[in-house]
Amino acid sequence: MSILVLNAGSSTLKYALLDDAAKTELVGGVVDWHGGDSTATLHFRTPGCEDSHTLVECSDYRGAVYEILHSLTANGIDKKISIVGHRIVHGGPVFNQPTLIDDHMREELEQISTLAPLHNPPALAAVEAARKVFPDAAHIAVFDTAFYSGLPMHEVLYPLPYQWFEEYGIRRYGFHGISHAYCAARAAEILGRQEDLSLRLVICHLGNGCSATAVRGEQPVATTMGFTPLDGLMMGTRSGSIDPGILLHLMQQHGMNGEHLDESLNRQSGLLGISGVSSDFREVEQSANAGHKRASLAIEMFASRIRSTIGAFTVTLGGIDALIFTAGIGEHSTTLRSRVCNGLQCLNLLLDEDKNRENDADSNIAQMDSAVRILLIRTREEQSIARAAQRIRPGSP
Ligand code: ADP
C-alpha cells in the first residue's frame, strides 16, 4: 500500500509516492509541459538512483496521471495506491481541514475556484483525472489556506469598508500553509520545544512564491500573503504589497484595465520586473555578480522587504526565538540569507557565515552567542500532504 501526492500547477504536475506510513518517499518527480501542448517531460527520481527524464505524449492531467502510473509500473513499483493526497491552494472560508473528496465536496471546490482562478482550476482538473485513474483510492484534499483558519480577526481583516468583508468576503486567507506548518513543527522538534506554547518563530518561505509567517507555539499569528497569493513579500514575478493608489492612478490616468494589471502584477513584476533578466533567483544572482545593476537592485529590494517583515513580525510576537529559511531560495542561497541577516544584529540575531556556507538542511546556522537561532529547514510539502491525508482516510482511527 502507498500514498500518492499530486500537486498541480498551470503547466506542471508534481507527484510523490510515499510508503503507507507517509514517512519515506519512494518516488518523486514532475510532469512538465513547458508551455507546449501534447508533449511533456516526465521527471522520475528514486532515492539512490540517477534521475530520469522521458518525453511523453500527453495533453492533459489525465494523460499525465496515466504516465506517472506507467512509469511506476515500468520501474517495478507495483504497490497499490490506497490514498491520493491533493494539494489545493485555496480552501475558501469553507475548508479548514483535510477533506475526503466526494461528488458533493468536488462541487463545493468548484464554487470557490473563483477565489483562486490561477491556482485551483489546475488542481481540480488533476483531482478529476486521478479519481478516474484510481477509482478505488481515497482522494483527500489538503489546503494551503487551512493552517491560517485560527488567524486572529485583527489580522484577517483589511482596513476597508466592513461591508466588503460581509458582502464580498474580502479578507486575508494566507497561503503556503502546508510548508509553514511543516517548518513550524520541524523547528520545534529541532529546538526540542514541541508543545511549547511560548515558542516564537518567523518562517520565511522563499521560492517562486514568497511568504513569511509569524508563529507562536506552532499557531500562526500573522502572515504576509492575503486575500490572494499576490500580497506581501516581493516574489519571482509577483509584486507583493504595493501602494493600491498606484493601481488607481494607472486605471484613471493611463487607461489600464483589470486584465492588464493582473498580467503585470502577477507575471511581469517582482525579481523579473526590476531586474529585466529573469524571475529565477539563481539567474538574477549570476547577472548581479557579473555587474548587472538592475539585477543587484532587485536582490537588494528582495532582501530588504524580507528583513523589514522579520522586524515587524518580531514585534508582533514580542520577540523571536528562531528565524527559519525554507524553499528554493531560502534553502540554497547563501548570499541571500547573509544579506537578510546583515541588519538584524539589532535583534541579537547573529549569522555564522561558515555554517551558512555549508547549506546543511535542518541545521542551525546562527553563531553560538546569538540570542536567536537561525534554522535552514528543507520543506517537505509532499510528506505533510501524505501525513494529513493518511490521518483522515476512511477507516483510520
Ligand atoms: P516553487 O515555489 O515553484 O516550489 P522553489 O521552492 O523550487 O519554487 O524555488 C524556486 C527558486 O529557488 C528559484 O528562484 C530558484 O532560482 C531558487 N533556487 C533554487 N536553487 C537555488 C540555489 N542553489 N541558489 C539560489 N537560488 C536557488
Protein residue whose Cα sits closest to atom 19 of ligand 1: 328
Please indicate whether residue 355, judged by its CB atom, sits closer than 6 Å to ligand 1.
no
CA of 32 to the centre of ligand 1 (A): 16
Residue 156 has pLDDT above 80, yes or no: yes
Distances in Å between the Cα of 52 and the Cα atoms of 2, 42, 69, 83 are 22, 8, 15, 25
* Amino acid 49: pLDDT: 82
Protein residue whose Cα sits closest to atom 25 of ligand 1: 333
| Residue 191's pLDDT band (cuts 50, 70, 90) | very high
Query: What strands, in cross-sheet order, belong to the sheet with 138-143?
Result: 52-57, 39-45, 25-32, 12-19, 2-8, 81-88, 138-143, 99-100
- Indicate the class that CATH gives domain 2-149: alpha beta
Residue 209 has pLDDT above 60, yes or no: yes
Average pLDDT, the chain: 93
Q: Which atom of ligand 1 is nearest to the CA of 283?
A: 16
Residue 199 has pLDDT above 80, yes or no: yes
Residue (of 331, 98, 341, 315) closest to 221 by Cα position: 315
What are the residue ranges spanned by the domains of the chain? 2-149, 177-376
- Indicate the class that CATH gives domain 177-376: alpha beta
Terminal-residue alpha carbon distance, the chain = 17
CA of 209 to the centre of ligand 1 (A): 10
* Amino acid 395: pLDDT: 65
* Amino acid 28: pLDDT: 92
CA of 280 to the centre of ligand 1 (A): 7
Q: Do the Cβ atoms of 294 and 272 come closer than 8 Å?
A: no
Within 58-164, strands assigned E span 81-88, 99-100, 138-143
pLDDT, one tens digit per residue, over 22-31 is 888 999 999 9
Q: Measured between alpha carbons, how far is 239 from 302 in angstroms, rounded to an integer? A: 10
CA of 329 to the centre of ligand 1 (A): 5
* Amino acid 148: pLDDT: 97
Contacts with 100 (C-beta within 8 Å, 6 or more apart), sequence order: 138, 139, 140, 392, 393, 394
Q: Measured between alpha carbons, how far is 304 from 298 in angstroms, rounded to an integer? A: 10
Same topology between domain 2-149 and domain 177-376: yes
pLDDT, one tens digit per residue, over 231-255 is 999 999 999 999 999 999 999 999 9
| Residue 77's pLDDT band (cuts 50, 70, 90) | confident
Give the residue numbers marked as catalytic. Answer: 144
* Amino acid 80: pLDDT: 86
Pocket probe mutation, ligand 1, options 282, 286, 376, max atoms within 8 Å of Cβ: 282
Protein residue whose Cα sits closest to atom 12 of ligand 1: 328
CA of 237 to the centre of ligand 1 (A): 13
More confident residue, 70 or 144: 144
* Amino acid 47: pLDDT: 84
Distances in Å between the Cα of 350 and the Cα atoms of 318, 342, 365, 371, 374 are 19, 8, 9, 8, 8
- The percentage of residues in the chain with a pLDDT greater than 90, rounded to a whole number, is 77
* Amino acid 38: pLDDT: 82
* Amino acid 16: pLDDT: 95
Please indicate whether residue 272, judged by its CB atom, sits closer than 6 Å to ligand 1.
no
Please indicate whether residue 171, judged by its CB atom, sits closer than 6 Å to ligand 1.
no
- Give 246-309 as a DSSP string: HHHHHHHHH---HHHHHHHHHHS-HHHHHHSS-S-HHHHHHHHHTT-HHHHHHHHHHHHHHHHH
* Amino acid 35: pLDDT: 60
Mean pLDDT is lowest, of 5-19, 185-199, 306-320, for 5-19
C-alpha cell at 73: 509500473
Q: Which atom of ligand 1 is nearest to the CA of 271?
A: 14
Residue 397 has pLDDT above 70, yes or no: no
